[in-house]
Structure 1
Amino acid sequence: MGGIRHVLRPAPPPAPANSRGKKKRHVPDPIKANPESAAQQLRLFIERLERMDEEIRGMQDDRKDVLNEAKANGYDTKTIGTILKLRQLDPNNRMEAEALLETYKASLGIE
């Protein structure tokens, strides 16, 4: 009965922080270096991101409205979503994916 014998070994010592001999680059903390300016800059970044998030929410609402309008006119929204995805693909990749789908459907007897 052969087998593998597991022997516990101590973990290797941790490597030194700068094992390659590179100097660690000192990056000054902007908040400590200039607290007034850094706080203002941080606040501006956050406000810009908040405005962008609000714009995204508005566009998402607009997108839902367009899909609801299409649905009210009798169009299938899932198919519209599929068409949108296909239009984003490179034409060669799209043709390859469609050919592969047809191959799989034929092999499974789906038509």
Structure 2
Amino acid sequence: MGNLLPFPIGLPCSPVGPRPPMKETAADRALRDATYDAAAEELRQFVERFEQLEVEKQTVADQQKALMAEAKARGYAPKLLRVLIAQRKRDKDDLAEEEAKLALYKDALGMGS
């Protein structure tokens, strides 16, 4: 069987020859510019939102630092407060398992209480 296509396979042009490039109209340019402007505006909004979140994150971090300084001034150990806060976030079963393993390891090393 021969080639069923009316033109050879693998040629980079259509069966009737290469097409001339299309001319860009004023409507094409306007659509392209509007699309570009919309994408640029959306990008600007994402960047500005992210920057605002960075400012808010820094504000919260400063407030947390001030709170720990106040707790320290009242006699609490900030390091232990952070441990307690981290433990409160965890699942109770996972925490209990970790504490049991820690007690076992301490006993094995002669550090049990």
Please report the TM-score for the alignment, with normalisation by the length of structure 2.
0.68
> What percent identity do the matched residue pairs reach?
36
| Paired residues for 1:97-108 under 5 Å | 97-108=98-109
In structure 2, the gaps of 5 or more residues are 1-31
1:55 aligns with 2:56: yes
What SS class does the counterpart of residue 75 from structure 2 fall into?
A: coil
Q: Tell me the alpha carbon deviations over residues 42-88 of structure 1, each in whole angstroms, 9 at most, x when there is no partner.
A: 00000000000100000000000010000000111111111111111
Change beyond 3 A, Cα 1:103–1:32: farther
Counterparts of 1:92 and 1:107, CA distance in 2:
23
Q: CA deviation at 1:34?
A: 1.2
In structure 1, the gaps of 5 or more residues are 1-30
How many residue pairs get aligned? The number is 81
Letter in structure 1 aligned against 2:97: E
Letter in structure 1 aligned against 2:77: D
What SS class does the counterpart of residue 34 from structure 1 fall into?
A: helix
Counterparts of 1:91 and 1:44, CA distance in 2:
41
Please report the TM-score for the alignment, with normalisation by the length of structure 1.
0.69
Larger Cα-atom Rg: 2
- Runs ≥4 residues deviating over 4 A: none
Across the aligned residues of Structure 1 and Structure 2, the Cα RMSD in angstroms comes to 1.6
